[in-house]
Chains A and B, each alone.
Chain A
């Protein structure tokens, strides 16, 4: 009897065992799926927030920063440069921009597989960000494509025709931004350190792609367009540093989305980039102020906010690769360098870079890109693996001094593309719609002559 019961129990156990195993497997799988979904929704929440933060950098951030620096007759025209790009680049991005930048193509340009955002939906694109919908990645990257050309507008402020500006920006997106962003961030791009680039260049959030391209193009614009009417003869004081201050602070806050968002997830790397960004801005504020205080005897308010922007620029390529202390060093160096660029170098060579787009973004971006090669460390960013599967040595501090050369190649390509592309585009615009407002329009102010409005109507 006992034997019979025992046999029955064995039989039951044998029958039940696979079923029990199956339940555990199913439970594990559903747990895994739940964990994935949780990570995905966390990452997506941060990336959507970051996207909004980066858009806020252009409007109102940059628009206010630049708007306050011009004379009051040009305040609307200047803010319009930033704002209209929020519309123009968005349309280009949908039509072909996203595809040309992020689709796999050749080393210089993506193909058209994502044209009209075909196939860009809620499924992630594992090449770039495996935990968020590709649509989130797409809209996040769009915000970078918007602010980059908007930065250039600082160089030709107060004198460019609106139609000429529009044509310039459309061509510039296609000829300079999309190719450069593809080279650095796109799959198979020439400089992509993660996805098969020939010269691996570290650019976490856009030192080369955003700041060198815009800053160097700005210099070409300033040289090509010539000086504003009355430059160095009439006073051209910023009409409201209060407005510029609000803009600079919005830029600082928005930059957390720009840099920490470039981690493409709500990860530890995002925190590290957030910290580096903040530290860079702080140190650069002090660097600029110190240089100015020593040289002119007065630490200026405009100097403080300009220094903060310079630091944010310089830390951009390094933000996801460096520890907090090097972030302070990079920022401090940028504050000093950019101060001398906009005071000494600009005066020495006599170009009218109205709002110092080159002095801050071109110079700060270049410095940051090079110093990324010095301070990048796998203690911060271990995504890149070596042949043995261990975190690869990144910058000089990891013993990979050769990375500085790779960074220099990235910088050189960005400079060359920006100079050649911008010059060609200016020629095309000049020969077709024209570039400069005529003398009377410029003296009247672009607000009235281009847009038929005034920014401040105090008597109404």
Chain B
């Protein structure tokens, strides 16, 4: 099993969700986060007081998929989240040791 963690532009969330649903992946957890990579923030000025806002709002998607489907899922996700501009975000893929469904103690891929 692989865990896919992606930080994307908030306005791309719906497209990403639809695209993943399209290939049969619909389990995911979403968090609203703030962050930045190479993307510089922007400047805000309130009555002459300047603030550099460099932590920008992003959406973090976490999902665990069978190992064999990870590449396909990442490809779909990237395709839907891409605008081609700086600030599109990043994807990280991890190995997952175990998964358990709390309701009935299913383990492994059948718990996904």
- B-binding residues in A (CB < 8 A): 235-238, 296, 298, 300, 302-303, 306, 342-344, 346-347, 356
Q: Is B46 touching A302 in the complex (CB atoms < 8 A)?
A: yes
> Which residue among B45, B48, B49 has the maximum number of chain A CB atoms within 10 Å of its CB?
B48
The 8 Å CB contact of B45, one of A236, A300, A344, A346, is: A300
Q: Closest residue to B53 on the A side, CB-wise?
A: A235
Chain A nearest Cβ from B84, distance in angstroms: 27
Q: Closest residue to B47 on the A side, CB-wise?
A: A342
Tell me the interface secondary structure of chain B in the complex.
strand
The reply on B11 being an interface residue by CB < 8 A is no
The 8 Å CB contact of B47, one of A235, A298, A303, is: A303
The reply on B92 being an interface residue by CB < 8 A is no
* Apart from A237-B46, A303-B47, A343-B48: 16 A-B pairs, beta carbons within 8 A: A235-B51, A237-B44, A237-B51, A238-B46, A296-B45, A300-B45, A300-B46, A302-B46, A302-B47, A306-B47, A342-B48, A343-B47, A344-B48, A346-B48, A347-B48, A356-B47
- A-binding residues in B (CB < 8 A): 44-49, 51
Q: How far is the CA of A267 from the CA of B25 in the complex (A)?
A: 74
Q: Closest residue to B52 on the A side, CB-wise?
A: A235
Q: How far is the CA of A298 from the CA of B45 in the complex (A)?
A: 9
Residues of B within 8 A of A237 (CB): 44, 46, 51
Residues of B within 8 A of A296 (CB): 45
Q: Closest residue to A302 on the B side, CB-wise?
A: B46
Residues of A within 8 A of B44 (CB): 237
Chain B nearest Cβ from A65, distance in angstroms: 13
Q: How far is the CA of A296 from the CA of B46 in the complex (A)?
A: 11
Q: How far is the CA of A298 from the CA of B46 in the complex (A)?
A: 11
> Which residue among A235, A238, A306 has the maximum number of chain B CB atoms within 10 Å of its CB?
A235
Q: How far is the CA of A343 from the CA of B45 in the complex (A)?
A: 10
Q: How far is the CA of A302 from the CA of B46 in the complex (A)?
A: 7
> Which residue among B45, B47, B48, B51 has the maximum number of chain A CB atoms within 10 Å of its CB?
B47
Q: Closest residue to B45 on the A side, CB-wise?
A: A296
Chain A nearest Cβ from B96, distance in angstroms: 30
Chain A nearest Cβ from B34, distance in angstroms: 13
Q: Closest residue to B50 on the A side, CB-wise?
A: A296
Residues of B within 8 A of A300 (CB): 45-46
Q: How far is the CA of A236 from the CA of B46 in the complex (A)?
A: 9
Residues of A within 8 A of B51 (CB): 235, 237
Q: How far is the CA of A343 from the CA of B51 in the complex (A)?
A: 14
Residues of A within 8 A of B46 (CB): 237-238, 300, 302
Nearest 10 interchain pairs by C-beta: A343-B48, A342-B47, A235-B51, A302-B46, A296-B45, A237-B46, A238-B46, A237-B51, A302-B47, A342-B48
14 of the cross-chain contacts (CB-CB < 8 Å) are: A235-B51, A236-B49, A237-B51, A296-B45, A300-B45, A300-B46, A302-B46, A302-B47, A303-B47, A306-B47, A342-B48, A343-B48, A346-B48, A356-B47
